[in-house]
Structure 1
Amino acid sequence: MARTREFDTEAAVGRAMDLFWARGYEATSVRDLTRHLGIGQGSLYAAFGDKDGLYRAALEHYRATLAADALRDLKEGADVRSAVRAMLVGRVRVAAGDGGRGCLMVNAACERLPRDPSVRRLVRDVQDASRDALAEVLEAAAERGEISRRHDPRTLAEFLVTFLNGLLVAAKVTPEPRTLEPLVEVALACLD
């Protein structure tokens, strides 16, 4: 007779996400995970298959929560400059937090690529969703005359995602929002 799972897998994934985010994939052992989650090794393997499965679940959780919130806030912003500024500054503040933990997705790309194709797909999906959301917001702003038509909205969106990735890496090196936030104003100048 199979035993019933005696822990909340969603809560465990959220806690694992925090641990992977703080330490990275390689520096987080299965033993670290079982201690942090308060579960046995057998339970971890039964629920997630292995460490890789739990890591992918943690990345998916990040995408469904923090990344999704940033995109929702972007689409709900009043004017495009304010919305893009708020999204970029918000991501910098999260990345600079906890001594410069960065962005879990960018960290995953830096640590796991090119050798992990499943992480590459997941990171690419998140970046594509960010680019598409930005392109949609920028296109609407261009149609309203809020921003210049000098650059294609999709190209601007791709630039902003690329800029954000660099900014998130910089937040690990210099975890000081007051130093990084002025760079956002330089990037926003491309909307003129």
Structure 2
Amino acid sequence: MVGRPKSFDNDTAIDAFVEEFWSRGYEATSIDHLQAAIGIKRGSFYAAFGNKESAFIAAMERYVDDVTKLVVGELEQNPDPRAGLSGMLRQVGAFMTSNNGRGCLLLSALAAPPELCPDHAKKLQSMAEYVMLRIADKATLLVEQAGRPMRMDADAIHAYMTSVLFGLNAMATAEVDNDSILLAAETAAVFLETA
């Protein structure tokens, strides 16, 4: 006997999960929300995705592929590390204004880490490291190529970038007005350009 075919497309389902987790956050998103988003019953959800944690990790991986890697890619492709880092801050500021109220799914998950099993927690951490290691690499390159004494070393630049990214995300999730978010991003970028 042939089983009943799935009534949903897996890629479309994961895109819907991204929207649910991004809009609600991990804790406030229930299995019922995820089921409703893709129109399947609880048993079908568990058969296809296992549990809420697995659906969350699948959504995070999709988000990193679709959003985070684009931002990081532009950082990596810029031959000027100072312009790459300051440009990233401006780009993230613009992203936050277009997602005011939601911010960045990855940064929000890192700011308030959900309770996950060790394997899933490790996957989430590796997503964070993907971004942070690339920022650290550019910060090191900036210091090496500066040709003059700088106010910050590579570790300080990395810490600065991290604090600004989390700060911009906090502003967006708190629904601070877009002009203020853009001003914060621009001020941070200019500071880095003159460091």
Please report the TM-score for the alignment, with normalisation by the length of structure 2: 0.81
Q: Determine if contact 1:103/1:168 at 8 Å carries over to the other structure.
A: yes
User: Equivalences for 1:29-40 in 2 at 5 Å?
Assistant: 29-40=30-41
- Please report how far the alpha carbon of residue 164 of structure 1 lies from its aligned counterpart in structure 2 after TM superposition: 0.8
**Aligned counterpart, 1:116:** 116
Which digits, 9 at most, give the CA deviation of each residue in 1:142-179, with x for residues without a partner?
33337754433243123212321122112122443321
Q: Determine if contact 1:135/1:154 at 8 Å carries over to the other structure.
A: yes
Instruction: Measure, in 2, the Cα distance between the counterparts of 1:174 and 1:19.
Output: 18
Q: Determine if contact 1:89/1:181 at 8 Å carries over to the other structure.
A: yes
Q: Comparing both chains, which one has the higher relative contact order based on Cα–Cα distances under 8 Å and sequence gaps of 6 or more?
A: 2
- Please report how far the alpha carbon of residue 133 of structure 1 lies from its aligned counterpart in structure 2 after TM superposition: 0.8
**Aligned counterpart, 1:79:** 80
Alignment CA distance shift 1:111-1:31 (3 Å):
same
**Aligned counterpart, 1:66:** 67
User: Equivalences for 1:160-179 in 2 at 5 Å?
Assistant: 160-179=161-180
**Aligned counterpart, 1:104:** 105
- Please report how far the alpha carbon of residue 68 of structure 1 lies from its aligned counterpart in structure 2 after TM superposition: 1.1
Which digits, 9 at most, give the CA deviation of each residue in 1:108-145, with x for residues without a partner?
234444x4355653443233222211122233333333
**Aligned counterpart, 1:41:** 42
Instruction: Measure, in 2, the Cα distance between the counterparts of 1:9 and 1:85.
Output: 37
1:11 aligns with 2:7: no
Q: Determine if contact 1:73/1:83 at 8 Å carries over to the other structure.
A: yes
1:24 aligns with 2:19: no
Q: In terms of mean alpha carbon deviation, does 15-24 or 33-42 score higher?
A: 33-42
**Aligned counterpart, 2:94:** 93
**Aligned counterpart, 1:184:** 185
**Equivalent pairs: percent with the same residue?**
26
Instruction: Measure, in 2, the Cα distance between the counterparts of 1:82 and 1:174.
Output: 28
Q: In terms of mean alpha carbon deviation, does 72-81 or 182-191 score higher?
A: 182-191
Instruction: Measure, in 1, the Cα distance between the counterparts of 2:148 and 2:124.
Output: 29
Q: Determine if contact 1:127/1:161 at 8 Å carries over to the other structure.
A: no
Q: In terms of mean alpha carbon deviation, does 131-140 or 50-59 score higher?
A: 131-140
Instruction: Measure, in 2, the Cα distance between the counterparts of 1:138 and 1:127.
Output: 17
Instruction: Measure, in 2, the Cα distance between the counterparts of 1:147 and 1:75.
Output: 23
Unaligned stretches of 5+ residues in structure 1: none
Q: Over aligned residue pairs, what C-alpha RMSD do you find?
A: 2.6
**One-letter amino acid matched to 1:69:** L
